Structure 1
């Protein structure tokens, strides 16, 4: 199972985010998506994630005398176990949340840097809603959301389809 330090390393986090859509990718494809990461650094962190069981090799083929491997994320291994989450300190949660928000900012900056962009037409949304829920109602809502997203996560790219990042944050507020 993943550990907090393993998952929150900035380079490893970016590699995992690049494979978040569930589609496999080679190191060369990851380097195209993340060109600012040095090749040796990329290979080292892919090896670390693979050794931890978070990435798995789903294909191997010879390319110009070397072995090209195709990787995919094992989502069941890329999450902290409930006991590990429960043992996290306040600072651990702050680090994890900061990494999450940093990823959101990077995704949004990447979107805005593309040309042309039209947030309204593109369906960009960011909003908050305050709702009163019991713990059971929150669990039910999260299950419904997970089910809705999971039902669509297997969609393949196709004409008219745009890959979209769906993010959720639920935080209790003071009464």
Structure 2
């Protein structure tokens, strides 16, 4: 598991998103997918992710006197350590969410930059809904959503399959408050008679 600092940078997050559930890619291939990132910046952040154990080199080959490496994400290291997450401040969370949102914006912009992009026919979905849930119901819902996505992560690449990036954000409308003490069976009757 990695620390939050590894992921709290928009370029590193975009590199990871480009590599999620993808075949290993070289730096050159990553630059093709993320052309707005300067080469020196790309190399620097790939090195940070590799040194942090988040990326692993799966192949090295000599190309014109240099070594070209192919990278893939080490799935077990793309989760922020629970202790590090618990130690994050509100400012850290704001920074993490801003980085996450910025990477979503960059992905959407990259998609729309394709001449043949058609959000309606391509099935682009961005929706928001509000639901009232107990803590247990919320945990079950998140587990159901994650299970639905995880069950499809292993799908083999095929001619009829298109890679989709699925993002999940769940934000409470307000912070949790301490449970109120049980007022007893007669309290409701008194309120009803007022």
TM-score using structure 2 length: 0.82
Matches within 5 A, 1:25-36: 25-36=25-36
Q: How many Å apart are 1:71 and its aligned residue?
A: 0.7
Q: How many Å apart are 1:154 and its aligned residue?
A: 2.0
Corresponding residue of 1:110: 110
* Partner Cα separation in structure 2 for residue 172 and residue 28 of structure 1: 41
**Between 39-48 and 87-96, the greater mean CA deviation after superposition:** 39-48
Matches within 5 A, 1:131-146: 131-146=131-146
SS in structure 2 of the partner of residue 41 of structure 1: helix
Query: After superposition, what is the alpha-carbon deviation per residue over 1:125-163, rounded to whole angstroms, capped at 9, x for unaligned?
Result: 111111122222222221221121112112233222211
**Between 84-93 and 128-137, the greater mean CA deviation after superposition:** 128-137
C-alpha RMSD over aligned residues? 1.8
Matches within 5 A, 1:1-175: 1-174=1-174
* Partner Cα separation in structure 1 for residue 138 and residue 117 of structure 2: 35
Q: 1:110 to 1:38 in 2, by over 3 A?
A: closer
5+ long unaligned stretches in structure 2: 176-194
**Between 32-41 and 130-139, the greater mean CA deviation after superposition:** 32-41
* Contact 2:59/2:70 (8 A) holds in 1: yes
5+ long unaligned stretches in structure 1: none
Q: 1:142 to 1:159 in 2, by over 3 A?
A: same
Aligned residues: 175
Q: 1:87 to 1:61 in 2, by over 3 A?
A: same
Q: How many Å apart are 1:106 and its aligned residue?
A: 1.3
The structure whose Rg is larger is 2
* Partner Cα separation in structure 2 for residue 154 and residue 132 of structure 1: 32
* Partner Cα separation in structure 2 for residue 33 and residue 22 of structure 1: 12
Q: How many Å apart are 1:92 and its aligned residue?
A: 0.6
